[in-house]
Structure 1
Amino acid sequence: MLTELTGLTDGAPPAALQAALEERLAGADRAWLHEALAEAEAEAEAETETGSPRPADRPQWSLPIWETRFAEAGRHCHPAQAGQPGSPGPGAQDLADAARVLLLHAVRADHATTTRLYTHGTAAERRAVLLALPHLGGVPAGSALPLVEDALRTNDTRLVAAAVGRYAAAHLDQHAWRHAVLKCLFTGVPVGAVADLAGRAAGDAELARMLRDYAAERTAAGRPVPEDLDRVLALTAAPTQES
């Protein structure tokens, strides 16, 4: 699931993400993307000129066209070349994620917008909001943590994977971050999805204790211990950067 493009969605500058996405889209879909991004940028410019704050909520009939594009991205993002079964390349869902992230960046989405889209969105739309958070300068630092925390309460593996990206690495406190790592192990999300895993796990004796307790519970119940657990446990033995 964690393809090259999904990694770009969380970590690359928007220009690099757009270039990578365009390389993978069919011709008609590239045209749709350009039009959608232009509409989002026009909306942002118009709001800047008027100085009108975005409403925290708005009725369906009054949604700007870029939000319609945001919702329909899944119908307009198809790989230019169909991959072989089992191919590690990005699929349509990854392409739609990237398109939605770019739309949120182009419109300069703020706290009210991201909260509204997450609250009322589908699982795919919520995932895109989470992936976009590191790119959005209009969202005050840490203010979107309730969205991350909500995603971590679900058992939707793609939501959980999106929630443990760079935004969580930067803003989750250590207690909540430890539980996010355990959530990945519990739901089967590869710990490779966890941003700055090595840095935050290093020297964390409490995380090591939680991992050992979890492994003991699984073993006592006759259940397999996730392979990733030993990887994370080994990281906790490393010295912290301050050491």
Structure 2
Amino acid sequence: MLTALTELTDGSPARAVQAALEEHLAGADRAWLHEALAEAEAAERAGAAAGAEAEAVGRSAYALPTWERRFAEAGRHCHPARSGPSGPSAEDLADAARVLLLHTVRADHDTTTRLYTHGSAAERRAVLLALPHLSAYAPPASALALVEDALRTNDTRLVAAAVGPYAAEHLDQHAWRHAVLKCLFTGVPVDAVDGLAPRARGDAELARMLRDHAAERTAAGRPVPDGLHRVLALTADCDTADRPHVTAAPTEES
């Protein structure tokens, strides 16, 4: 389900994305989604009008909109229509619904920051997943603080969401290297790192950091994650003549 949302950008067929989400929702949950999106659309229209009026009179006109309550309760209203291992999970459906709500309301920097700061882990994850789809409504890189906060946690789903397309576009190379190491530390699969191959290729400093991490784990008798070897191989363009032999050890997928 979230795969369909990767193409969700300003001007894209949001109705088609909504239809794809509805296909996986149980009947009552589809009705909930209709109401939630209608409220988000109304809030977006009212917000623009209220903002113009507030600017004219020199005062704030913000009031907590109903759609934010819908955003918070999505986990209780996104059940798969069909059970089974092949379809999206309830968590994936809730993520998709929240991302679609944020896109519909054209959430700006203040909105995403507020929802992330005061939200549950699931709500924070949805904000992180939505960031690439909200770039038209906020200054460039304005949400990096949210990504950096998620990368300081040990919540693997937050870390995985934080290393998506937004981080690939806006994290500088130093911070990005540490994000890759964070995935290895916490067991997040390196496949979660968007743009991994082009950014890792030829990065001698990343190669050094990976070697140090591998050496530390080997010295402690701990397995070196398979993901580390994969990323180290991507740095080989600058480094094939001087790659160390990592002591063989049991591996674990990371």
Structures share fold, TM-score greater than 0.5: yes
Kindly state the Cα deviation for residue 195 of structure 1 after the two structures are TM-superposed: 0.6
Structure 1: how far apart are the matches of 2:91 and 2:162? 16
**Aligned twin of 1:102:** 100
Which structure has the bigger radius of gyration? 2
SS of the aligned residue for 2:137 comes to coil
1:92 matched to 2:90? The reply is yes
SS of the aligned residue for 1:114 comes to helix
> Which one-letter code corresponds to 1:6 in the other structure?
L
> Which one-letter code corresponds to 2:166 in the other structure?
Y
Structure 2: how far apart are the matches of 1:8 and 1:159? 20
Structure 2: how far apart are the matches of 1:88 and 1:224? 31
Contact kept, 8 Å, 1:24 with 1:81, in 2: the verdict is yes
SS of the aligned residue for 2:83 comes to coil
**Aligned twin of 1:33:** 33
Alignment gaps of 5+ in structure 2: 239-254
* From 123, 129, 132, the counterpart of 1:131: 129
**Aligned twin of 2:116:** 118
1:170-209 mapped onto 2 (5 Å cutoff) = 170-209=169-208
> Which one-letter code corresponds to 1:170 in the other structure?
E
1:6-17 mapped onto 2 (5 Å cutoff) = 6-9=2-5, 11-13=6-8, 15=14, 17=17
Which structure exhibits the higher relative contact order, with contacts defined as CA atoms closer than 8 Å and separated by 6 or more residues?
A: 1
1:44-55 mapped onto 2 (5 Å cutoff) = 44-50=44-50, 51=52, 52=54
Structure 2: how far apart are the matches of 1:179 and 1:29? 40
Q: Per-residue CA shift, 1:150-199, capped at 9, x if unaligned?
A: 00000000000000000000000000000000100110111111111111
Cα 1:20–1:155 change in 2 (3 A) is same
**Aligned twin of 1:212:** 211
Cα 1:19–1:147 change in 2 (3 A) is same
Alignment gaps of 5+ in structure 1: none
Structure 2: how far apart are the matches of 1:204 and 1:18? 40
**Aligned twin of 2:83:** 82
User: What percentage of aligned pairs have identical amino acids?
Assistant: 76
Structure 2: how far apart are the matches of 1:8 and 1:206? 35
TM-score normalised by the chain length of structure 2 = 0.84
**Aligned twin of 2:247:** none
Kindly state the Cα deviation for residue 238 of structure 1 after the two structures are TM-superposed: 4.0
> Which one-letter code corresponds to 2:102 in the other structure?
L
Contact kept, 8 Å, 1:191 with 1:228, in 2: the verdict is yes
Kindly state the Cα deviation for residue 12 of structure 1 after the two structures are TM-superposed: 2.1
Kindly state the Cα deviation for residue 63 of structure 1 after the two structures are TM-superposed: 2.2
After TM superposition, the runs of 4+ consecutive aligned structure 1 residues lying more than 3 A away are 6-9
Q: How many residues align?
A: 226
Cα 1:89–1:205 change in 2 (3 A) is farther
> Which one-letter code corresponds to 1:213 in the other structure?
D
SS of the aligned residue for 2:140 comes to coil
Contact kept, 8 Å, 1:17 with 1:98, in 2: the verdict is no
Kindly state the Cα deviation for residue 6 of structure 1 after the two structures are TM-superposed: 3.3
SS of the aligned residue for 1:237 comes to helix
Kindly state the Cα deviation for residue 13 of structure 1 after the two structures are TM-superposed: 1.3
Structure 2: how far apart are the matches of 1:104 and 1:132? 7
Structure 2: how far apart are the matches of 1:195 and 1:18? 24
